[in-house]
A and B are shown apart, each in its own frame.
Chain A
Amino acid sequence: QKEVEQNSGPLSVPEGAIASLNCTYSDRGSQSFFWYRQYSGKSPELIMSIYSNGDKEDGRFTAQLNKASQYVSLLIRDSQPSDSATYLCAVNSGGSNYKLTFGKGTLLTVNP
């Protein structure tokens, strides 16, 4: 059973701080890793993808991947109230149909 684990939160940070979201996965053969943001009542929105060990930065977002530790994280710098949402970690184990296994999500609240 492939599993993706996230701390459900809620994670509360003040505006302007760095929010750190963590995710571990069980399938060592996983190849692709994604972070989605889901606002309440809306569908998930892809914000970051990462495929190799190390850091990947896109604006205020940095994804970090450590395959040896089976760990992927998302850092949000200069957090804004508009970042308040549930963040879903998703992992693809390399199947040809790109099926994803999702974590249950971490609820982030950024306080003004």
Chain B
Amino acid sequence: GAVVSQHPSWVICKSGTSVKIECRSLDFQATTMFWYRQFPKQSLMLMATSNEGSKATYEQGVEKDKFLINHASLTLSTLTVTSAHPEDSSFYICSATGTSGRAVREQYFGPGTRLTVT
């Protein structure tokens, strides 16, 4: 149990365009989802925390108008990178925690989305 999926697994886009990444909890209800970014050979960096039906809470230094997060249901959160630039190229990973079963108190990660902006 406690499976999280992400789509797409990789995406290439042109500078100035927007990209949407989906994160889904497949076998539990995710009351809270987290979005991380990881650059090569660096540690995970938390970007924002989202609770179902509420506005996301962004970490210091993360532009909320650039990284739009929507958590409209208990199984789906989306991250939209708006007006992407090459420096936004990174590995974006979501995680989720839920209200029942193994997902209580534990964060389970999706497989990640590799974004390349050309």
Task: Spell out A's residues near B (CB within 8 Å).
Answer: 32, 34, 36, 42-46, 49, 51, 88, 90, 92, 97-100, 102-105
Contacts and interface: CB of A to CB of B under 8 A. Distances in A.
Interface of B: 32, 34, 43-44, 46, 49, 51, 91, 93, 97, 105-112
Contacts of B111: 42-43
Given A49-B106, A92-B105, A44 B34 contact: no
Contact of A99 (B43, B49, B91, B93): B49
Given A43-B93, A98-B106, 14 more contacts: A32-B105, A36-B109, A42-B111, A43-B91, A43-B109, A44-B109, A46-B107, A46-B108, A46-B109, A92-B105, A98-B32, A98-B97, A98-B105, A102-B44
A3 B95 CA distance: 20
22 contacts: A32-B105, A34-B107, A42-B111, A43-B91, A43-B111, A43-B112, A44-B44, A44-B93, A45-B109, A46-B108, A88-B44, A92-B105, A97-B51, A98-B32, A98-B97, A98-B107, A99-B49, A100-B34, A100-B107, A102-B43, A102-B44, A103-B43
Describe B's contact surface by its main secondary structure: strand
A103 B46 CA distance: 12
B34 A99 contact: yes
Contact of A105 (B43, B93, B105, B108): B43
A92 B32 CA distance: 14
Nearest to A99: B49
A18 to B, nearest CB: 25
A104 B43 CA distance: 5
B16 to A, nearest CB: 27
Contact of A97 (B43, B49, B108): B49
Nearest to A107: B41
A35 to B, nearest CB: 11
